[in-house]
Amino acid sequence: MRIPFQRSLLVALITSTTLLQACSDNSEETTKEAAAPAAEAPATADHSNHMNTDDSADKPAGSGITRSSAPEGAAAEIVSPANGATVSSPVKVVFGLEGMDVSPAGKEKENSGHHHLLIDLDKMPDMNMPLPANDQVVHFGKGQTETELELEPGTHTLQLLLGDYRHVPHEPAVVSETITITVE
Q: Is 47 in the site for Cu ion (CB under 5 A)?
A: no
Looking at the Cβ atoms of 176 and 183, the one nearer to Cu ion is: 176
Rounded to a whole number of angstroms, the minimum distance from the CB of residue 122 to Cu ion is 20
Q: Are the beta carbons of 121 and 136 closer than 8 angstroms? A: yes
Q: Are the beta carbons of 32 and 26 closer than 8 angstroms? A: no
Rounded to a whole number of angstroms, the minimum distance from the CB of residue 115 to Cu ion is 8
Q: Which residues pair with 115 in a beta bridge?
A: 162
Query: Contact region for Cu ion (CB under 5 A) — 36-44, 46-54, 119-127, 133-141?
Result: 133-141
Distances (CA, A) of 68 to 48, 64, 110: 24, 13, 8
Look at residues 119, 130, 124 and name the one whose alpha carbon lies nearest to residue 163: 130
Looking at the Cβ atoms of 137 and 183, the one nearer to Cu ion is: 137
Distances (CA, A) of 139 to 88, 142, 145, 167: 22, 9, 11, 8
Look at residues 20, 21, 22, 27 and name the one whose alpha carbon lies nearest to residue 49: 22
Looking at the Cβ atoms of 29 and 120, the one nearer to Cu ion is: 29
Rounded to a whole number of angstroms, the minimum distance from the CB of residue 107 to Cu ion is 12
Q: Is residue 112 packed enough to be buried (19+ CB in 10 Å), middle (13-18) or exposed (0-12)?
A: buried
- Binding string, 134-173, against Cu ion, x = CB under 5 A? -----x-x---------------------x---x------
Rounded to a whole number of angstroms, the minimum distance from the CB of residue 66 to Cu ion is 17
Looking at the Cβ atoms of 54 and 62, the one nearer to Cu ion is: 62
Rounded to a whole number of angstroms, the minimum distance from the CB of residue 16 to Cu ion is 22
Instruction: Give contact residues for Cu ion (rule: CB under 5 A).
Output: 139, 141, 163, 167
